[in-house]
Chains A and B, each alone.
Chain A
Amino acid sequence: NAGVMQNPRHLVRRRGQEARLRCSPMKGHSHVYWYRQLPEEGLKFMVYLQKENIIDESGMPKERFSAEFPKEGPSILRIQQVVRGDSAAYFCASSPEGGSPEQFFGPGTRLTVL
């Protein structure tokens, strides 16, 4: 009965490199969400996906950030040409079909940009 899994747990990138963050939702969950937490702040919504579809990307920066949730495999949050301001904890959450409001979070990926 595994929960939401994220990898890597820690990721260090130099400015200008690409960062790929992976998320496997809980078994039976078809909704995936990505949130970002900057130091001393709460979590901020980035994007909401279902299998092969982006439902809401209103929290995604317009450039360099993209997300996908393919038919097979984990959801990927991709950050191109990272900058120091991208350093944060990135959390993935999942929820089942049915409209229940609870979202279940993974342990997060801590991205550090040097």
Chain B
Amino acid sequence: DQQVKQNSPSLSVQEGRISILNCDYTNSMFDYFLWYKKYPAEGPTFLISISSIKDKNEDGRFTVFLNKSAKHLSLHIVPSQPGDSAVYFCAAREYGNKLVFGAGTILRVKS
């Protein structure tokens, strides 16, 4: 049972445009949601998080939106840059600090 789902395996975007990565979840007890970026042969790098009591959090080019009624969150990257090309993982925190990850979305930013 996948509690966190990233339904788009890949996304291709032109440099300078907006990248929107989506994530759905089923467990209403998650209290935080996080986005990580991962390059091949490296560990995930933390990007941004959002508390379940918020609906938006912004940090530079990255904004995360949370829609609790739809159990959906999205990561917006504006403007997209070639260096943003990586795998993006959505994760949710369960009680006790355990993170539950989605399967990831490969983002390709074309120059």
Chain A residues close to B by CB (< 8 Å): 4, 6, 31, 33, 35, 40-45, 48, 55-56, 58-59, 91, 93, 95, 101-108, 110
B97 touching A44, Cβ below 8 Å = no
Query: In the complex, A8→B70 CA distance in Å?
Result: 42
Q: A43-B89, A101-B32, A101-B49 are in contact. Are A106 and B97 (CB under 8 A)?
A: no
Does B78 reach chain A (CB closer than 8 Å)? no
B96 touching A44, Cβ below 8 Å = no
Least Cβ–Cβ distance between A98 and chain B, in angstroms: 11
Q: Which size class do B's interface residues fall under? A: 20 to 34
Kindly identify, within residues 14 to 32 of chain B, every residue whose CB is under 8 Å from any CB belonging to chain A.
31-32
27 A-B pairs (CB sep. < 8 Å): A6-B43, A33-B97, A33-B98, A35-B101, A41-B103, A42-B6, A42-B89, A43-B44, A43-B89, A43-B99, A43-B101, A45-B98, A56-B96, A56-B98, A58-B98, A59-B98, A95-B97, A101-B99, A102-B34, A102-B46, A103-B97, A103-B99, A105-B43, A105-B44, A107-B41, A107-B43, A108-B42
A42 touching B103, Cβ below 8 Å = yes
B48 to chain A: closest residue by CB: A102
Chain B residues close to A by CB (< 8 Å): 4, 6, 31-32, 34, 36, 41-46, 49, 89, 91, 93, 96-104
A105 touching B45, Cβ below 8 Å = yes
Besides A33-B98, A58-B98, 13 other A-B contacts (C-beta < 8 A): A40-B103, A42-B101, A42-B104, A48-B97, A56-B96, A91-B43, A93-B43, A101-B31, A101-B97, A103-B46, A103-B97, A105-B44, A105-B45
